[in-house]
A and B are shown apart, each in its own frame.
Chain A
Amino acid sequence: MNSSVPSPASAHAPVPPSPGRIRGIKVWLERHFGKFWLAIVFAFLYLPLLFMIVFSFNSTRQDARFTGFSLRWYEALLRDNRIVDGFWLSLKVATVTGLLSAVLATFAAFVLVRYKRFLGRSVFSGMVSAPLVMPEVIIGLSLLLLFVGSQNFFGFPQRGMLTIILGHTLLGTAYAMVVIQSRLMEMDRSIEEAAMDLGAKPSQVFFLVTLPNVFQAIVAGFLLAFTLSFDDVVITEFLSGPGVNTLPQVIFGYARRGINPTIYAAATILIVTVTIVIVSYAVWVARSTRRREKEIMAAGRS
Chain B
Amino acid sequence: MLPKSLIPGRRFVIGVPYTWLILFFLLPFLILLYISFVDMRGSINPFKPIWDVETGTLILRYENYLSIFRTEEGAPLFRTIYVDAYLRSIWYALATAVLCLVIGYPFAYFIARSPASIRPALLLMVMLPFWTSFLLRVYAWKGLLSDNGVINRFMVFIGLTDAPIRMLYTDISMLVGMTYVYLPFMILPLYANLVKMDFRLLEAAYDLGATPLRAFWLVTVPLSKSGIIAGFMLVFIPCVGEFVIPSLLGGPGTTMIGRVVWDEMFTGNNWPRATALAVVMIGLIVVPLALYYHYTGERAEPKARK
- A, B from the same assembly: yes
Interface residues of A (CB under 8 A from B): 34-35, 37-38, 41-42, 44-49, 51-52, 55, 63-65, 104, 107-108, 110-111, 114-115, 118, 120, 124, 127-128, 130-131, 133-138, 141-143, 145-146, 149, 152, 166, 169-170, 173, 192, 196, 202-203, 227, 230-231, 233-234, 237, 248, 251-252, 255-256, 259, 263-264, 266-267, 270-271, 274-275, 278-279, 282, 286
Q: Would A48 and B137 count as touching, CB distance under 8 A? A: yes
Known A137-B261, A231-B135: A48·B243 in contact at CB below 8 Å: no
Name the segment of B103-111, B201-209, B298-306 touching the other chain: B103-111
Provide the residues of chain A in CB contact with B244, threshold 8 Å: 233-234, 252
Q: Which of A107, A136, A196 contacts B6 (CB 8 A)?
A: A196
- Distance from A213 Cβ to chain B, minimum over Cβ atoms (Å): 15
Q: A107-B17, A135-B238, A255-B135 are in contact. List 15 more A-B contacts (CB 8 A).
A: A45-B183, A49-B137, A104-B16, A127-B21, A130-B25, A137-B262, A138-B281, A141-B275, A143-B28, A169-B24, A231-B135, A237-B262, A267-B139, A278-B124, A278-B128
Q: Would A137 and B241 count as touching, CB distance under 8 A? A: yes
Q: Would A128 and B135 count as touching, CB distance under 8 A? A: no
Q: Which of B6, B31, B275 contacts A149 (CB 8 A)?
A: B31
Q: Would A37 and B106 count as touching, CB distance under 8 A? A: yes
Q: Would A104 and B17 count as touching, CB distance under 8 A? A: yes
Provide the residues of chain A in CB contact with B21, threshold 8 Å: 124, 127-128
Interface string of B178-202 (1 = CB under 8 A from A): 0010010000000000000000000
Known A48-B137, A115-B10: A282·B124 in contact at CB below 8 Å: yes
- 24 interchain pairs, CB-CB under 8 A: A45-B129, A49-B137, A104-B16, A107-B16, A108-B17, A114-B7, A120-B18, A127-B21, A130-B25, A136-B243, A142-B31, A142-B32, A146-B31, A149-B47, A196-B2, A252-B247, A255-B135, A256-B248, A259-B143, A263-B136, A267-B133, A270-B136, A278-B124, A278-B127
Q: Would A248 and B135 count as touching, CB distance under 8 A? A: yes
Q: Which has the most chain B C-beta neighbours within 10 Å: A46, A52, A107, A137?
A: A137
Q: Would A133 and B285 count as touching, CB distance under 8 A? A: yes
Known A37-B110, A111-B14, A259-B143: A42·B135 in contact at CB below 8 Å: no
Provide the residues of chain B in CB contact with A234, threshold 8 Å: 243-244, 258
A194 to B271, CA, bound (A): 58
Known A37-B106, A231-B135, A248-B135: A141·B261 in contact at CB below 8 Å: yes
Provide the residues of chain A in CB contact with B17, threshold 8 Å: 104, 107-108, 111, 124, 128, 173
Q: Would B275 and A51 count as touching, CB distance under 8 A? A: no
Provide the residues of chain B in CB contact with A63, threshold 8 Å: 143, 149-150
Provide the residues of chain B in CB contact with A266, threshold 8 Å: 136
- Distance from A183 Cβ to chain B, minimum over Cβ atoms (Å): 16
Q: Which of A47, A137, A166, A248 contacts B133 (CB 8 A)?
A: A248
CB of B163 closer than 8 Å to a CB of A: no
- Distance from B189 Cβ to chain A, minimum over Cβ atoms (Å): 13
Q: Would A48 and B140 count as touching, CB distance under 8 A? A: yes
Q: Would A52 and B140 count as touching, CB distance under 8 A? A: yes
A134 to B279, CA, bound (A): 11
- Taking chain A's interface residues, is the majority helix, strand, or loop, or is none over half, making it mixed? helix
Q: Would B24 and A255 count as touching, CB distance under 8 A? A: no
Q: Would A278 and B47 count as touching, CB distance under 8 A? A: no
Q: Would B35 and A145 count as touching, CB distance under 8 A? A: yes
- Distance from B94 Cβ to chain A, minimum over Cβ atoms (Å): 16
Known A124-B18, A137-B258: A48·B289 in contact at CB below 8 Å: no
CB of B269 closer than 8 Å to a CB of A: no
Interface residues of B (CB under 8 A from A): 2, 6-8, 10, 13-14, 16-18, 20-22, 24-29, 31-32, 35, 47, 103-104, 106-107, 110-111, 113-114, 120, 122, 124-129, 131-137, 139-144, 146, 148-150, 153, 180, 183, 237-238, 240-244, 247-248, 258, 261-262, 265, 271, 274-275, 278, 281-282, 285, 289
Provide the residues of chain B in CB contact with A286, threshold 8 Å: 120
Provide the residues of chain A in CB contact with B18, threshold 8 Å: 111, 120, 124
Q: Which has the most chain B C-beta neighbours within 10 Å: A46, A135, A282?
A: A135
Provide the residues of chain B in CB contact with A124, threshold 8 Å: 14, 17-18, 21
Q: Would A118 and B240 count as touching, CB distance under 8 A? A: no
Q: Would B136 and A135 count as touching, CB distance under 8 A? A: no
Q: Would A64 and B136 count as touching, CB distance under 8 A? A: no
Q: Would A38 and B136 count as touching, CB distance under 8 A? A: no
Q: Which 3 A-B pairs have the closest CB atoms?
A: A135-B241, A48-B140, A142-B28
Q: Would A64 and B28 count as touching, CB distance under 8 A? A: no
- Distance from A34 Cβ to chain B, minimum over Cβ atoms (Å): 4
Q: Would B289 and A51 count as touching, CB distance under 8 A? A: no
A121 to B187, CA, bound (A): 32
A134 to B238, CA, bound (A): 8
Provide the residues of chain B in CB contact with A64, threshold 8 Å: 143, 146, 148-150, 153
**A108 nearest CB neighbor, chain B only:** B17
- Distance from B204 Cβ to chain A, minimum over Cβ atoms (Å): 21
Q: Which of A37, A104, A145, A233 contacts B107 (CB 8 A)?
A: A37
Q: Would A48 and B135 count as touching, CB distance under 8 A? A: no
